[in-house]
Amino acid sequence: MNIKDYVINRKIELKKEISSLTIKPKLIIIQVNDDPASDTYVRGKLKDGAEVTANVILDKQRPDISEEDLIKLIDKYNNDKTVHGLIVQMPLPKHINENHIKLAVNPKKDVDGFHPLTNFDPCTPKGIINYLKSENVVIQGKNAVVIGRSNIVGKPMQKLLLKENANVTQLHSKTTNEDMRFYLEHADIIVVAVGKKHFLNSNFKLKESAVVVDVGINRDESGLHGDCEPNLKVRLQTPVPGGVGLLTRLTLLTNLMEAYYGIQH
Ligand code: NAP
C-alpha cells in the first residue's frame, strides 16, 4: 500500500480509538522560533491532531525567551496531569542549549523520543520500521545500509534496524566513494538521511530487490526533493513528498497514544 493510504487508514483507526475515550490525549507543542519550515511542521501536527480528535495545542513563545524561562514552562507542563505528551519544536534560538531542553522534558511525556531515558523511539525511524513491516519487508538477516548518522534519524535508525536483527552498516560523510558503492551494491534495505538532493541516484548499482527509504527533505525553487532520485530500479522506494514525512507525523500520534495509556488519569 502506498504511504498516503497507509497513513489515512491508521488515522481512521486512531480517530475511532480516541472517539471512544472520555479524556482526550493532550499534546503540547512549544515553539520558540520564527522558522518558516518549523511553522509548516507545526501546522501539520495541529492538523493531524484535529483529524484524529486528539487535543494538540501550540504554545508559541517569543524567540528571545531565556533558557531558564523555557525550562520553567516545560516544567509546568511536566507537572500538569492533563498533559500526556510534550514536545519542543526544533531548531531552538542560538542562546538556548538544545541538550538542556531535551533533558528538561519528562521522559514519560517525551513523545519525540529525544531524552536519553525516554520510553519512546524517535518518530522518523520508528515510523519507517512500522511501515516496512506493514509492507512485509523482511528485515531480519538482511543487509541494511543507513546513510547519515544524526541523533534524530541516522543513529536511532541504525539502532532500530539492529533490534530487528538486520546486518546494519552506517555510512557518513567520511565514507569513501569506493566503500559507498560497495555497501550500496550489497544492500537489501537502504535508508538515506543525508540532506542532499538526489544523493542516491542511478549512477549507483543497486539490487533490483532492494528497498529504498528516502528521508531527505530538500527545498529549492522547483519544490521539495528527496535524497534519492525518483524511480530508481528497485523493489520499493518511498516518495518525497508524501513519504517518510507522513510516517513521522503519524508516529507522533502513536507515541502520544502510548504516553496517554502510560499515564494515570
Ligand atoms: P543532519 O543532521 O544534517 O545529518 C546528515 C548526515 O548526512 C550526517 O551524518 C552526515 O555525515 C551525512 N552526510 C552528509 N554529506 C554526506 C555525504 N556526502 N556522504 C555521506 N553522508 C553524508 O541531517 P538529519 O537531521 O539526519 O536529516 C537528514 C535529511 O532528512 C534532511 O534532509 C532532513 O530535512 C530530513 N529529515 C526528514 C524527516 C522526515 O520526517 N521526513 C525527519 C528528519 C529529517 P557526518 O556525520 O559525517 O557529517
241 and 133 in one domain? yes
94 and 37 in one domain? yes
Q: Which of 45, 102, 126, 197 is catalytic?
A: 45
Is any atom of ligand 1 closer than 6 Å to the C-beta of 174? yes
195 and 132 in one domain? yes
Using a pLDDT cut of 90, give the percent of the chain over it: 97
Closest protein CA for atom 40 of ligand 1: 245
Query: In the annotation, is 61 catalytic?
Result: no
Residue indicated by cell numbers 542562546: 95
101 and 49 in one domain? yes
175 and 238 in one domain? yes
d(CA 243, CA 4): 7
d(CA 185, CA 205): 6
The whole-number average pLDDT for the span 77-92 is 97
35 and 75 in one domain? yes
pLDDT band with cut points at 50, 70 and 90 for residue 119 = confident
Is any atom of ligand 1 closer than 6 Å to the C-beta of 152? yes
Contacts 24+ apart (CB under 8 A), 204-210: 204/180, 205/181, 206/232, 206/233, 206/234, 207/234, 208/233, 208/234, 208/235, 209/234, 209/235, 210/234, 210/235
97 and 133 in one domain? no
Indicate whether 87 belongs to any domain: yes
pTM: 0.96
133 and 229 in one domain? yes
Is any atom of ligand 1 closer than 6 Å to the C-beta of 153? yes
83 and 168 in one domain? no
Q: Which residues pair with 236 in a beta bridge?
A: 211
pLDDT tens, residue by residue, 6-64: 999 999 999 999 999 999 999 999 999 989 989 999 999 999 999 999 999 999 999 99
The whole-number average pLDDT for the span 100-119 is 96
Closest protein CA for atom 5 of ligand 1: 194
- Answer whether 207's CB lies under 8 Å from 234's CB: yes
Is any atom of ligand 1 closer than 6 Å to the C-beta of 150? yes
pLDDT tens, residue by residue, 53-64: 999 999 999 999
**Final residue belonging to a domain, choices 41, 74, 108:** 108
What confidence score (pLDDT) does residue 62 get? 96
99 and 191 in one domain? no
Write the CATH number for 196.
3.40.50.720
Write the CATH number for 97.
3.40.50.10860
What confidence score (pLDDT) does residue 176 get? 98
pLDDT band with cut points at 50, 70 and 90 for residue 254 = very high
Atom index in ligand 1 nearest the CA of residue 127 equals 40
Indicate whether 9 belongs to any domain: no
Give the total number of structural domains in the chain.
2
Atom index in ligand 1 nearest the CA of residue 240 equals 41
What confidence score (pLDDT) does residue 263 get? 72
Closest protein CA for atom 16 of ligand 1: 173
Distance 241 CA to ligand 1 centre (A): 16
188 and 151 in one domain? yes
221 and 144 in one domain? yes
d(CA 22, CA 12): 18
d(CA 18, CA 203): 47
Is residue 172 pLDDT above 70, yes or no?
yes
What confidence score (pLDDT) does residue 264 get? 54
Is any atom of ligand 1 closer than 6 Å to the C-beta of 220? no
Closest protein CA for atom 43 of ligand 1: 153
Indicate whether 103 belongs to any domain: yes
The whole-number average pLDDT for the span 117-141 is 96
Is residue 265 pLDDT above 70, yes or no?
no
The whole-number average pLDDT for the span 149-177 is 97
Q: Which of 26, 31, 48, 89 is catalytic?
A: 89
User: What is the residue range of 172's domain?
Assistant: 123-245
pLDDT tens, residue by residue, 212-221: 999 999 999 9
Distance 75 CA to ligand 1 centre (A): 31
Indicate whether 118 belongs to any domain: no
Q: Which residues of 1-11 are buried (b: 16+ CB within 10 A; e: fewer)?
A: eebeebbeebb
